[in-house]
Amino acid sequence: MNRLAIVVPCYNEEEVLDITTTELTKVITKLIESDKISKDSFVLYVDDGSRDATWSIIDKHHKQNPLIYGLKLAGNVGHQYALLAGLMAASDLSDVTISIDADLQDDLNVIEEMVDLFHSGKDIVYGVRNDRKKDSFFKRTTAQGFYKLMSFMGVKSVYNHADFRLMSKRAVKQLGEFRESNLFLRGMVPLIGYETACVYYERGKRVAGESKYPLKKMFALAWNGITSFSVKPISLISFLGAMMIVLSILAGIYGIISYALGRAVPGWTSLILSIWFIGGVQLVAIGLIGQYIGKIYMEVKQRPRYNIETLLVHSSEAKQ
């Protein structure tokens, strides 16, 4: 029987944790009673340096509920790092993991379907929204634009998928082999290459509290995803530089014709051509150098991605 870990990254989620614990406990209990997972399966909350009572609530539920584990990070490192920390810790204690946000906007009812697909041989199962009808026009438009932009930039991702997914133990271990510091898990997981599947669901509203992923963080995540997986933005700069050179040549031809016809302003041609040409050369040079800097940037930084302060577990597993 396979041991399941549900990994839940948390940042200032004190309003939702009681409800989330109740609902996730029901899910795990049902799966245990159906003999689909082992009795020692658990929920692992990851506290990403919360400033409210999140950790004390996690600790309380850990003491009261044998299904609840806790992982406290030494400071706020961001959602993607916190999620990775939880996945790596859970993979040492389980056979399969499911990641989900604490706000319960993702449909818990499809978790059983995910587990069934895992038993059928799938290493990765993506939770995918079937529509965005409940989103505002702005959010729906920007989200769709984001996925199209990622595709244009050459980033491999699953459309309308966030971080609600099932991963086998070997898939998580393989994810750990990706050493880059600029994390974008939605782009990294598809690179693993194991057998995958998708489950579709309708995303709901937060059960309580406010979103911890405002527009500013969404844009930051999108930019990080693009710059972590593609050097195409730098290539576009090079292309722009080349276009400027072409335009300067055309402007030169126009200047010569104007001079021949006696319609040129004295000094205008040489001034404009020099500005356009030098500007184009500079952009090409910056783009070319940037190609190398971009590749080096993605490879050489070796800072620790997170630091674990406390791990709360049950039974014979060590407590830290």
Q: What is the total count of domains within the chain? A: 2
**Residues 220 and 243 reside in one and the same domain:** no
Poorest-pLDDT segment among 78-92, 165-179, 239-253: 239-253
Query: What is the rounded average pLDDT of the residues 73-91?
Result: 91
Tens-place pLDDT, residues 222-251: 666 666 666 667 777 777 778 877 877 777
Distance CA 85, CA 96 (A): 15
Residue finishing a domain among 230, 257, 275:
230
| pLDDT of 292 over the 80 cut | no
160 and 31 within one domain: yes
SS3 194: coil
Q: Answer yes or no: do 67 and 162 share one domain.
A: yes
Shared-domain flag, residues 71 and 184: yes
* Domain assignment of residue 312, yes or no: no
In whole angstroms, what is the distance from residue 23 CA to residue 33 CA? 15
Tell me, what's the pLDDT at 303? 72
Query: 250-262 burial, b for 16+ CB within 10 Å, e for fewer?
Result: ebbeebeeeeeee
Residues 215 and 281 in one domain: no
Dihedral sign (CA 268, 271, 275, 281): positive
Residue type, 248: S
Are 144 and 38 members of one domain? yes
Beta partners for residue 165, in sequence order? 99, 126
C-alpha pair distances (Å), 74 with each of 71, 307, 309? 10, 6, 5
**What pLDDT score was predicted for residue 320?**
46
Mean pLDDT of the residues in the chain? 81
CATH code, 75: 3.90.550.10
Please tell me the distance from the alpha carbon of residue 201 to that of residue 131, in angstroms, as a whole number.
Answer: 8
| Percentage of residues in the chain having pLDDT higher than 90 | 39
Single out the residue in 180, 205, 230 at which a domain terminates. 230
Question: Which amino acid would we find at residue 60?
Answer: K
**CA-to-CA separations, 54 to 66, 108, 309, in angstroms, rounded:** 18, 21, 15
**Gyration radius of the chain's alpha carbons:** 25
Q: Does any domain span residue 50?
A: yes
> Would you state the structure tokens that stand for residue 65, as one six-digit string?
């509920």
Confidence of residue 146 (pLDDT cuts 50, 70, 90): low
Q: Are 192 and 175 in contact (CB under 8 A)?
A: yes
Tens digit of each residue's pLDDT (9 = 90 or more) over 148-170: 766 666 667 677 787 899 999 99
Chain-centroid distance, C-alpha 14 = 23
- Are residue 160 and residue 276 in the same domain, yes or no? no
Q: What is d(CA 224, CA 282) in angstroms, rounded to the nearest whole number?
A: 26
Q: Where are the alpha helices (DSSP H) in 153-231?
A: 169-175, 185-188, 215-229
Range of the domain at 147: 4-230
* Helix (H), strand (E) at residue 165: strand 161-168
The SS3 of residue 68 is strand
Mean pLDDT of 102-124: 92
Which pLDDT score is estimated for 240?
75
